[in-house]
Structures are given as C-alpha cells and as structure tokens.
Amino acid sequence: MTIQETENKIIDEFSLFDDWMDKYNYLIEMGKTLPILDEKFKTDQYLISGCQSRVWLSAELSDGNVVYKADSDAVITKGIVNLLIRVLSNQKPEDILSTDMAFIDRIGLKEHLSPTRSNGLMSMIKQMKLYALVFKTKQSTLNLEL
C-alpha cells in the first residue's frame, strides 16, 4: 500500500466516528495494539525528547524500505505513533521524505502536532524523516560505490 493509500484508509476509519470520545477510544485501542518495541531501544539514545510523554523510536532499512518501531509511556501518544508507523513504515526513504502527513489534519488530530503542545510528536515526525534521509543518503553513496 502506498503512503497515500494508507492515509486515505485512516481518514475513512476516522470518518465513522461521531464524536471525540469515539475517536479517542479508537486512538487508545490503537495505542494498546502498537507492536512492542524491544526494551533495548528504550534508552536515551532512541528517546525523542518532549515535555509531556516519552517516545522511543528505532528504524532500520529492509529491502530498500524503512521499518520503524516505536513506543511511548502515554497511550494516546502511542495511538498516534501507531498511525504514523502505519503510514510511514515499510516505505521507501524518498517517499517518506516527500509526504506532508496531511491526514493528521483531516482526522482532526492537528492539535497533537502543534509545536507548542510539546508532546514530542512534531519531533517524532522530524526524527522519522531524518532516519529516511540518512538511509537515502547511505543508499546513494552505496550506489556510487558500486
């Protein structure tokens, strides 16, 4: 599935909710079903600093795609992290770099990404893109070497 297709799917899922409580209950569910991040990644090295909840993020390149894994100590944050991973994980670095994550606004969660909310999610997206950039640069260097 492309980034755009996953985004559309998430927008469809969220269109079913009548009120904020359903939406947040769904986010909480998503938070609880986020695949477990190995404890070895829960260190300061993988910590994305945010004032309110802690988020740990790891990334690796697998068959040319970036695979992200993450965790947070707050469930709603985990839910949103899960959404971000659904959209960006297993995608090519260049596709990750070019997406604007507009779906966040469409599903009415923009407030969580405001830089003033200081919950680290803005930093999370930045960090995800940074990983993609690193992998992309590494790939092109490798290509040159070949």
Partner 1 sequence: MKFDVNKIRNDFPSLHQKVYGRPLVYLDNAATSQKPKAVIDAISEYYSTINSNVHRGVHFLSQQATDAFEKTRNHIQQFINASYSHEIIITEGATDSINLVANSFGKKFLKQGDEVIISALEHHANIVPWQMICEEKQAKLKVIPINDDCELLLDDLSKLINEKTKIVSVGHISNAVGVINPIKKIIKIAHKNKIPVMIDGAQGIVHEKVDVQELDCDFYCFSSHKFYGPMGVGVLYGKEALLEKMPPYQTGGEMIKTVTFEKTTFNELPFKFETGTPNVADVIGFDAALNYLEEIGLENIFEYEKELLDYATTRLKKLEGLEIIGDVRNKAGVISFNLAGIHPYDAGTILDKFGIAVRTGNHCAQPVMDRLKIQGTMRASFAFYNTKEEVDMLLEALKKVKEMFG
Provide the residue type at 89 as one letter: S
Whether 82 is a known active-site residue: answer no
Sole binder of partner 1 in the list 9, 13, 17, 24 (CB under 8 A): 24
* Residues 6 or more apart whose Cβ sits within 8 Å of residue 136: 93, 94, 97
Among 6, 7, 54, 128, indicate the residue that binds partner 1 (CB under 8 A): 54
Q: Among the options 16, 21, 51, 144, which is catalytic?
A: 51
Q: Which among 68, 66, 79, 87 is positioned nearest to 9, based on CA atoms?
A: 87
Interaction of residue 52 with partner 1, rule CB under 8 A: yes
**Residue number, 5 or 73, with CB nearest to partner 1:** 73
Nearest to 31 by CA among 95, 73, 82: 82
Q: Does 82 bind partner 1 (CB under 8 A)?
A: no
Among 73, 98, 110, 137, binds partner 1 (CB under 8 A): 73
DSSP 36: P
* C-beta separation of 6 from 86 below 8 A: yes
Q: For residues 35 and 108, which CB has a smaller minimum distance to partner 1 in the complex?
A: 108
The residue ranges that bind partner 1 (CB under 8 A) are 20-21, 24-25, 28, 51-54, 73-77, 119
